[in-house]
Structure 1
Amino acid sequence: MRAQAIYDPLSQPNNRFGIHIIDENDLQDAANLVNSSGGDWGYVKIVIREDDRNLEKWQAIFDRMRKMHLIPLVRLATKVENGVWIKPREADLDSWVEFLAKLNWVIENRYVIIFNEPNHAQEWGGEVDPKSYAWFLKEFSSKLKERSEDFFILPAGLDASAPNGFDTLDEVTFLQRLVAAEPEIFKSIDGWTSHSYPNPDFSGSPLASGRGSVRTFAWELNLLENYGASNLPVFITETGWQHSDGIYRNRRFATPDQVAQNYITAFTNAWSDPRIVVVTPFLLNYQGPPFDYFSFRKLNSSEFFPMYLAIQNLAKTAATPKQLLSAKILADNFPGKLVTGSDYILNVDIENTGQALIDSQDGWQLTLTGLPKEISVTTSNIFAVEPFHRTRVEIHLKTSKSAGFYNYEFILQKNRTDVAKSSASLSLVAPPSLLVTAKTWINRLAQGHDFSLLIYDEQERLLKEAKNLAFDQGLAQVDELYDIVPNRKYRLVLTKPYYLPRQIYAKLSESATRVTFPVLLPLDPSNDGALTWDDAKAFFKKPLETFGLLIAL
């Protein structure tokens, strides 16, 4: 039995197109390549060095990949000293695990490649040491899976064309010594990493087979039968041809047009094998030695060589990788009492605690379930909520004309599958009333029917305007307050011609509420609702009439 990742990537619709990049600034070009021609959720292989483990930086990169529908294949690396990649240190294991575990990955499977080509001394501290690599592979796998079963462990790709020599070891011999050191090593991995380069000299035929060809992966799987591990899904994380147009033109290599045709042939033949999860050619963009002859992007240009367009035009699959779908519905402040026959614009917050973007275009929807059909509910769309972010969903709710009590649920769904729920209850009550007390200058009880009362909610929306409100001996009553939420605070404004408006904030109860306004002052002869220079102009223009008006008021 091998170590079990969260799911087999070949069990889902899968886009086998990928690309190797060395700079996150190339992500958009990568997306344009692997998600073209009907494709979605292609792969990008990228290297994280031990001296570049900045959590904020890499989380931002992962978040960009999430938006672009790119699946990361992360290869671990140490750093170069004296011309060789140093061997990883046992003391660094826990820091690697901590860093990788803190990232919010793009999909459920967290693909991690444990270093690179350890059958080259230059890649393993200046020596070839299958025993120490076996130990690190086993320990990395164990510690990562202790933190999360979602880690999908891939071994380092090996150089299948390397001979037995002073600084290289033949792949067959390397695997023999690897297994001799750790007989159960294949239980520690979830897939097979292949560097299926078209050799010799990265210039072989796209139709060749066997070791050192674009079908190296098939030769390796046959080799793995000796260890009972030939059923591993294949990740071709390095492959590709050198082309002639590097910094200096090299006629030994195929032209970019010929390389483009090689890729078409390989993808439609050798790399159409159903055991292959992904093929990530080396390399999207490299602007100088030693990899300028591999680069898909032209030197000192924003344009690409023909192989980019050739791969871009190949038909692809719209993949559906599994993502952790998790969210919280924050409905504690949603009202539990509303008024019958009313029209409301209310809100509830959604917090994304998973991996996927929450977006209505991807099939996400918030519904309220359990209310009678006489209560009308519509919810607004949700737009691209990233993990660990919140959004506010607007709910338009029209209540029925009858009072009642109802239990219901908020349900957040993706493609009709429940992701989050929150139980709630709603009581519908009859419209409440308002008793208003007011005085006018100088300490007179308000009298007459030329008053107006305006009620505003927290969003400054006008909910009620009672015109020609009649006061008798300082009292007025407003019946049937619709559209208010009982026990919430509202802004109330009382107006009267030639008086300055007065306002108060009051919590309106579910039955009757009494409010008292400050004394209204007759300081608005311009009748514009504010104390301005226009009032002074009105006074000086007709002082006697204005003074008489103030006395009469």
Structure 2
Amino acid sequence: MQLPISLFFFLFVLFGQAYAIVDPVASPNNKLGLHILFPDEVGKAADIVNNHDQGQWGYVVIPIQSTDRNRDKWQHFLDKCKEHKVIPIIRIATTANGPHWELPSHYDMVDFANFLNELDWPTKNRYIIVLNEVNRNDEFGGKANPEQYADFLNLAIDVFKSKSEDFFMLSAGLDNAANDPKNSIKWSTFLDRMHSHRSDIFSRVDGWVSHAYPNPDFSARADLKGENKISSFESDLNRLQKYTAKNLPVFITETGWSDKYLSHKQIGLYYAYAFEKVWSNPQVVMVAPFLLSAQDGPFVQFSFLDKEDKPKEFVEEFSKFATIGNPQLPPINQIVIELPIASSEAEIISTPSSVLSLETESKRLNIFQRIYNKIVSIFF
């Protein structure tokens, strides 16, 4: 006779429904990050943000365009992030059309969300930045539009969260130095108009992106304060306090000094001051200067690597601030299968093998075979 006794088996899988994002600073966090342009740069970036393994789990920021959804390529990138212990932050982008970036569509967001949700991520939080410097005309289809961006951001949050609650949604970093009304909208006006159009939009994002450049000329002293300095995130947060009660974590995904006007030694001193006095703010999660490598491109003045692909002098000072991060990793989700087990069978299963006879051991193997067959019938 079969008794109402159940034995629970837990099948551990590396996929399944996620539950929610986690506070990025709830556990030890390495603030160092770097902006990269290509997935194969992750190893070189890791050497800098993790200071050659003296630190762990720094960050890399990388753009992905709407025409670049190669699964093997991007899964390899995420696998390399896991191998090198760096946390990826992916900024979604459209495609360039002459002097400006195309406006995104609803279908772009759905495709991005489906594609990125199919990939295996190295950490529980899956960081997504929705576009870039959208208060500039050239970054938003030729004409900056706060109301349109607020709608688009709201849509992106809905679409990504419908795929997985582990997507950590970040709004676009703004160009806080933009002051030409013909080509841009002042950052504060842009935020005001976003809020006027969608009063809950800043409560819906999970974190805040800041482009904290030392302006003018990307060469201002590190100790100077202001809305266009390396402390510009403070101006952002002061503004946001009017719109939301959320204590938004800050992700500085672009910053850095130009070596066009400053020596590498001076830049190193500025980084030291910034990490000790400015970016030490506990609300700042990470700081990713732009850029690891410009090669021969227009951003060579910001590059951390020289034309011979070697670290510039200031990089050593930057890397000294690497620490051991310990982010929450993707959960191993439990699928519970309840199978009715007779009391006599339960007793056989719970008995140590060392005291079982050959006949009873054979019975136990038969029980496990039946359980295995049941699991296979459920999942396959």
Rate the CA distance shift 1:218–1:327 in 2: closer, same or farther, 3 A. Answer: closer
State the 1:92 CA deviation. Answer: 2.1
- Residue correspondence of structure 1 range 137-286 to structure 2 within 5 A: 137-229=153-245, 231-244=247-260, 253-286=261-294
**Structure 2 partner of 1:298:** 306
User: Structure 1: which amino acid aligns with 2:303?
Assistant: S
Aligned equivalent of 2:327, options 309, 321, 330:
321
Rate the CA distance shift 1:212–1:311 in 2: closer, same or farther, 3 A. Answer: same
Structure with the greater relative contact order (CA < 8 A, sep ≥ 6): 1 or 2? Answer: 2
Higher-Rg member (1/2): 1
User: Structure 1: which amino acid aligns with 2:312?
Assistant: F
- Say yes or no: does 1:17 pair with 2:32: yes
* Number of aligned residue pairs: 333
TM-score, normalization: structure 2? 0.83
**Structure 2 partner of 1:407:** 350
Q: Is the 2:124–2:331 Cα contact (8 Å) retained in structure 1?
A: no
**Structure 1 partner of 2:119:** 103
The whole-number CA distance in structure 2 between the counterparts of 1:210 and 1:235 is 18
User: Structure 2: which amino acid aligns with 1:7?
Assistant: V
- Residue correspondence of structure 1 range 325-340 to structure 2 within 5 A: 325-326=331-332
User: Structure 2: which amino acid aligns with 1:30?
Assistant: A
State the 1:60 CA deviation. Answer: 0.9
The whole-number CA distance in structure 1 between the counterparts of 2:163 and 2:246 is 27
Gaps of 5+ in 2: 1-18, 336-346, 364-380
State the 1:208 CA deviation. Answer: 0.9
SS of corresponding position for 2:138: helix
Moved more, 33-42 or 103-112: 33-42
**Structure 1 partner of 2:314:** 307
State the 1:187 CA deviation. Answer: 2.6
The whole-number CA distance in structure 1 between the counterparts of 2:84 and 2:185 is 39
Aligned equivalent of 2:49, options 34, 43, 50:
34
Residues 256-296 of structure 1 show CA distances to partners (whole Å, capped at 9, x for unaligned) of 22112211111111111111000001101111231010001
Rate the CA distance shift 1:406–1:9 in 2: closer, same or farther, 3 A. Answer: same
User: Structure 2: which amino acid aligns with 1:263?
Assistant: Y
SS of corresponding position for 2:237: helix
User: Structure 2: which amino acid aligns with 1:120?
Assistant: R
State the 1:313 CA deviation. Answer: 2.3
The whole-number CA distance in structure 2 between the counterparts of 1:322 and 1:208 is 35
Rate the CA distance shift 1:328–1:138 in 2: closer, same or farther, 3 A. Answer: closer
Percent identity of equivalent pairs: 38
Moved over 6 A (4+): 424-427
Residues 180-216 of structure 1 show CA distances to partners (whole Å, capped at 9, x for unaligned) of 1211111320011000100001111111112111100
The whole-number CA distance in structure 2 between the counterparts of 1:171 and 1:302 is 35
The whole-number CA distance in structure 1 between the counterparts of 2:42 and 2:190 is 35
Q: Is the 1:5–1:190 Cα contact (8 Å) retained in structure 2?
A: no
Q: Is the 2:31–2:58 Cα contact (8 Å) retained in structure 1?
A: yes
Judging by fraction of residues, say which structure has more helix.
2
Rate the CA distance shift 1:295–1:405 in 2: closer, same or farther, 3 A. Answer: same
SS of corresponding position for 1:318: coil
RMSD of the alignment, in Å?
2.4
Residues 301-336 of structure 1 show CA distances to partners (whole Å, capped at 9, x for unaligned) of 13110121111223x33111111242899xxxxxxx
The whole-number CA distance in structure 2 between the counterparts of 1:90 and 1:406 is 54
Gaps of 5+ in 1: 245-252, 330-403, 409-423, 432-484, 488-553
- Say yes or no: does 1:88 pair with 2:97: no
Judging by fraction of residues, say which structure has more strand.
1
- Say yes or no: does 1:7 pair with 2:14: no
State the 1:38 CA deviation. Answer: 3.7
Rate the CA distance shift 1:328–1:233 in 2: closer, same or farther, 3 A. Answer: closer
Q: Is the 1:186–1:229 Cα contact (8 Å) retained in structure 2?
A: no
The whole-number CA distance in structure 2 between the counterparts of 1:125 and 1:325 is 39
The whole-number CA distance in structure 2 between the counterparts of 1:317 and 1:39 is 4
State the 1:486 CA deviation. Answer: 6.7
The whole-number CA distance in structure 2 between the counterparts of 1:200 and 1:135 is 32
The whole-number CA distance in structure 2 between the counterparts of 1:323 and 1:143 is 23
SS of corresponding position for 1:9: coil
Rate the CA distance shift 1:407–1:44 in 2: closer, same or farther, 3 A. Answer: same
State the 1:85 CA deviation. Answer: 0.7
User: Structure 2: which amino acid aligns with 1:176?
Assistant: D
The whole-number CA distance in structure 1 between the counterparts of 2:237 and 2:204 is 17
- Say yes or no: does 1:429 pair with 2:354: no
The whole-number CA distance in structure 1 between the counterparts of 2:191 and 2:297 is 31
Q: Is the 1:222–1:230 Cα contact (8 Å) retained in structure 2?
A: no
Residues 111-165 of structure 1 show CA distances to partners (whole Å, capped at 9, x for unaligned) of 0000000000000010011111111100000111111111100000001111151
Q: Is the 2:203–2:244 Cα contact (8 Å) retained in structure 1?
A: no
The whole-number CA distance in structure 2 between the counterparts of 1:145 and 1:309 is 39
**Structure 1 partner of 2:3:** none
SS of corresponding position for 2:302: coil
The whole-number CA distance in structure 2 between the counterparts of 1:233 and 1:5 is 16
Residues 458-485 of structure 1 show CA distances to partners (whole Å, capped at 9, x for unaligned) of xxxxxxxxxxxxxxxxxxxxxxxxxxx9
